[in-house]
Amino acid sequence: MVKRNPARLLVAAATGVCLLFSSLPAAHAADVNTVPNAAPGSFDNNFNGFYDIPRSLPNKPGKLIRTQNFKAEAIEFGDNPEQQLPINGTRIMFSTLLSNGKMGYSTAAFMKSNVTWRHNSLRPLVIHGPGTLGQGAQCAATKTIGDIFSSQGELFANLKGAEPFQPIMNYESITADKLLDAGMDVLTVDYTGSSEGIQSYINNIEAGRVMLDAARALKELSLINGETPVTLLGYSQGGSAAALAATLHPTYAPDVNLRAAVVGAPPLDLIEVSKQIDGSSMTGLIGYAINGFADRYPAMEKLLDRILNADGKRILSELKDTCVIGANLRHGFTKTSSWTIDGRPIYKHLESTPGIRKILDEQLAAAYAAPKVPVLFAANPNDDVVAFNQVKAMSERWCAAGADLEFLEIRFGPLLEGVGLHHIVPGFGLIGPGRDFIINNLTGDRQKGCTTAVKEMSIRK
């Protein structure tokens, strides 16, 4: 049995929560009824059927499947008195091309800012890639956008024979609101797996395509048009999604009017990230990644069946239905060497199995092409999840290939090692500079070329 320090788990969870708080149009033919966000019973009825698995899929990516109007009542993290609640929104389901070449689908939530756009450009759309929220279908960002905390199931469920209680944290509601507060329209994406799970995780090629296909589908509803400036913003998992959307754009979706990208702490080298977080509070995220790739590639599924012991198989099965708080509390500070038959960590098996290494190397290689749009690239030198040197090296590679790029060091820590704070907190520090970068690109008020900047953060800010 693996022993863990419960005090460290509580510190990781409590500190993260404390720092978190210190720092519509005509209906489409497939519309269902308007429902409020995180409505009682929404998880049980799958939001009046919106998230039901589609009976058939279009034969091209970026095609609209269905929509649902909603109202975000609780989204109030900004400081602009002009913003009025509720925010009117439209959920969309659309087709997208999976990393294994098959047609799949994803979901996203469009929110229309009711703040006046006062800049010398058209109002932009920000395609917002969420960070890690979880692998279960209930963790999808669009189901709780506007709220930070919600839950599924009941406390003491084992005594009642009910569904187990699961806390759901959607910290990306803060990011969405800050963008809406600035007069920007927001399209928050779910990647894939929002209907039935497994939600894909760090499948960066797939996530990048989802961001671009979401913009294509939105155009079908006339919520944007060909002149609308489309921009990308994401941190962590969302950062790698934004990075790949930017690199894939010229070849995958040149019809999208992409104008800028904000990329924060992207986990692009998946094996290196696995090494970094193994044994930390975020060990469970390694399980998210390999679950997601096993759902796409039979070779990964066969590898896991061969190398995992009984505990490892049980843990991966549990993780499929968890959100990030549950994953960290249940499996934080364990080592993946306890999951395998031979006692070697998972990353050793990933890097030494040729077929698997090829899949992961393809993910990294897809990030090498320099984006054709301006990029704000951000990282923390003290990041304890995605190594700073990994991010810096990719930014330098893009610059050498002619990218228009600003590299922003967001300095936070060191504070508590191994609990992920040096990775999590700077994500909130990126929102303001990200908004400014988008505006300055649209208005022409920034220096082009490769530049660097520094932002200092402290626990009191």
The CATH number covering residue 319 comes to 1.10.260.130
Q: Which of 334, 363, 392 is the last residue of a domain?
A: 363
Q: Are residues 406 and 348 in the same domain?
A: no
pLDDT at 152: 77
Quick one: average pLDDT of 178-204?
93
Split into its structural domains, the chain has a count of 2
CB contact at 8 A, 147 and 168: no
Report the Cα–Cα distance between both ends of the chain, in Å, rounded. 41
What CA–CA distance (Å, rounded) separates 66 from 37? 17
Whether 34 has a pLDDT exceeding 60, the answer reads no
- For residue 216, how far is the Cα from the chain centroid? 19
Q: Are residues 345 and 377 in the same domain?
A: no
- Residue 194 belongs to some domain of the structure: yes
- Residue 409 belongs to some domain of the structure: yes
pLDDT at 7: 37
pLDDT at 86: 81
Main-chain dihedrals φ then ψ at residue 263, nearest 5 degrees: -125, 115
Q: Are residues 341 and 192 in the same domain?
A: no
pLDDT at 69: 93
Q: Are residues 118 and 97 in the same domain?
A: yes
- Residue 461 belongs to some domain of the structure: no
pLDDT at 25: 30
Q: Are residues 355 and 421 in the same domain?
A: no
Q: Which of 316, 339, 363 is the last residue of a domain?
A: 363
Task: Indicate which CATH number applies to the domain containing 28.
Answer: 3.40.50.1820
Q: Which of 4-13, 188-197, 332-341 has the lowest mean pLDDT?
A: 4-13
Q: Are residues 320 and 385 in the same domain?
A: no
Q: Is 346 exposed, middle or buried (0-12, 13-18, 19+ CB in 10 A)?
A: buried
Q: Are residues 388 and 452 in the same domain?
A: yes
- At 210-246, the pLDDT tens digits run 999 999 999 999 999 999 999 999 999 999 999 999 9
Whether 10 has a pLDDT exceeding 80, the answer reads no
Q: Are residues 191 and 235 in the same domain?
A: yes
- Residue 228 belongs to some domain of the structure: yes
- Residue 2 belongs to some domain of the structure: no
Q: Are residues 335 and 382 in the same domain?
A: no
Residue with tokens 């993910």: 363
Whether 79 has a pLDDT exceeding 80, the answer reads no
Write out the residue range of the structural domain in which residue 326 sits: 270-363
Whether 20 has a pLDDT exceeding 50, the answer reads no
pLDDT at 35: 46
Quick one: average pLDDT of 45-58?
90
Main-chain dihedrals φ then ψ at residue 422, nearest 5 degrees: -70, -15
Q: Which of 31-45, 218-232, 353-367, 437-451 has the lowest mean pLDDT?
A: 31-45
Q: Are residues 405 and 298 in the same domain?
A: no
Q: Are residues 227 and 84 in the same domain?
A: yes
- Residue 1 belongs to some domain of the structure: no
pLDDT at 149: 84
Mean pLDDT of the residues in the chain: 88
- Residue 434 belongs to some domain of the structure: yes
Q: Are residues 44 and 130 in the same domain?
A: yes
- Residue 3 belongs to some domain of the structure: no
Q: What are the tokens at 43?
A: 């998880």
pLDDT at 242: 98
- At 396-423, the pLDDT tens digits run 999 999 999 999 999 999 888 778 999 9
Quick one: average pLDDT of 307-322?
96
Percentage of the residues of the chain whose pLDDT score is greater than 90? 75
- At 109-146, the pLDDT tens digits run 999 999 999 999 999 999 999 999 999 999 999 999 98
